[in-house]
Amino acid sequence: MAEEKFVEYPHEEKETVTPTEIENGTVRSGSGPPERVLKHAHDADEAMKAFEGHDGEVLVLDGATNKRLLSRIDRNIMPLLCVIYGLNYLDKTTLSYASVMGIKTDINLTGDDYQWLSSMFYFGYLAWEYPTNRLLQRLPLAKYSSFCIIAWGLVLCCMAAVQSYSGAIAVRFFLGVFESAVTPGFALFTSQWYTKKEQGTRMGIWFSFNGFAQIFGGLVAYGIAIGAARHGSAIAPWRIVFLVTGLLTSAIGCIFLFFMPDNQLNARWLSKPDRRLAVERVRVNQQGIGNKHFKSYQLVEALTDPLTWAFVFYALTADIPNGGISNFFSQLIVSFGYTADQSLLYGTPGGAVEVVSLIVCGYLGDRFRNRLLICSSGLFLSILGMVLIVALPLSNNGGRLAGYYLTQASPTPFVCLLSLIATNVAGYTKKTTVAALYLIGYCVGNIIGPQTFRPSDAPRYVPAEITIICCWGACLIDIAFIWWYCRRQNKKKAAYRARPGYMKLENQEWLDLTDRENPEFVYTL
């Protein structure tokens, strides 16, 4: 019987190597034939630099040291990720607040103009998503991310100056261009600094700041609207909202530039010994901390891996509902029978639902080591919420509003799969490619979403609401496939490692191997 292979690379040069050659710097993966040859100095992960000149030295990372390092990393990394990600969501949804604060009249939006204005952000996001992922790999991670944060804040300020639909379209496009770096960049930060067992919880925490941003943004917009109504204002209230959020974003981006390290090796708040220990603690991930070399075989593997397309399908399908709800939630709440000002205030509890669901699901997913099963509960709650919106009569304002709040648990599987890209995709070129494709799916879904809310369907928007329910149902099936596929691959890898003569290579974790070619790699469920 032919020997089973994890993955083949017929286009790669192959040769047989010996343990002596491995010691001299030429390394092969341990996944069985065909053998890939990796040049130690050229192709290995950035983490190798932490161990240069320390051959034979054994690093001991005891429980107390690991806890100390984790605490320091959390204090220095998580606040920045949380605040910036909250602003990332707030900056996208300012348009929803503006939609009930006068922007439609002031810049003469008619017909489907608002829907296309909502979607244009994602055209910019889509156009720049793959290039920005390549830049995230090629350039210093923190510095490039900082540039994008500062730039999108300044672009958002320009929204306060628009006088026409065409001007608003241009600003929304470039806002999408600069924000396209945030989600993939933050996923890379998380996989770089945290172990697999820690990543789900941390991603749930920083992504939950979408909910905090919804609460904060709703209160700010409500305060500006009420203040302007009572005391007047020199410029339109919706323009003030864009200025406040844009300037705040750029200011926080400058702080991010100063404090956020590109990786463990240049973290100013870690001593040199602690930098090596911080790299050592993520050895268990079998992924390293970054590799700036583009590898074509990893691109091919990403494009031919069924797991990649399962991720992309989820992002596309789940974000049709997201694109609709995130841009129309203020108008949706108005359709329940509330005033425009009340919609700004009553939208904030939805943010609290998102915060709780993301943090709880992230923690429980890591605690019970089954992120996919736990995250599905958020999708079930969301489907229930949308059914309430569709089924309850227009007169039942409170029940339909409660249904809207339940739909805000829907991001839990999206965040779970984003964390699984960080956890379950290895090889830096492959990881950035899969992340780019996932977020391309996210863009396409968000472009389609606003188009499902047709003005002619107001006030109930039943076709859009039924579309949302169908999309979430398909997402549940996709999650079940991902769970089955990862479990199956783990069994195959376990069987391979149990073969007689199998040997794990020293520092195999730092060779920038992909998840499929590394037999030591275990997929997280």
What pLDDT is recorded for position 206? 93
| Summary mean pLDDT of the chain | 84
- State pLDDT tens for residues 22-46: 233 333 333 333 344 444 445 666 6
Q: How many helices (H) and strands (E) does the chain have?
A: 20, 2
Reported pTM = 0.79
pLDDT tens digit sequence for 416-439? 999 999 889 988 889 989 999 999
pLDDT recorded at residue 372: 93
Q: What are the structure tokens assigned to 208, written together? A: 């939950």
Q: How confident is the model at residue 337 (pLDDT cuts 50, 70, 90)?
A: confident
d(CA 356, CA 364): 12
Distance CA 29, CA 7 (A): 11
Interior/surface letters 213-225, b for 16+ CB within 10 angstroms, e for the rest:
bbbbbbebbbebb
Q: Give the span between the Cα atoms of 443 and 439, in whole angstroms.
A: 6
**Structural domain boundaries in the chain:** 63-494
Greatest Cα-to-Cα distance within the chain, rounded to the nearest angstrom? 83
Q: Tens of pLDDT along 152-192?
A: 999 999 999 999 999 999 999 999 999 999 999 999 999 89
- Architecture per CATH, domain 63-494, reads as Up-down Bundle (1.20)
- What percentage of the chain reaches a pLDDT higher than 90? 46
Residue 340's pLDDT is 79
- Residue range 258-288, pLDDT digits in tens: 999 998 888 999 998 898 888 888 887 777 6
Token reading at 134: 């390549």
Phi, psi of 44 (to 5 degrees): -70, 165
Q: How far apart are CA 328 and CA 99, in angstroms?
A: 9
Give the pLDDT of residue 55: 54
Mean of the pLDDT values across residues 64-82? 94
Measured between alpha carbons, how far is 496 from 147 in angstroms, rounded to an integer?
45
Residue 145, token pair as written in the block: 């991310």
Q: Determine contact, residues 508/30, Cβ cutoff 8 Å.
A: yes
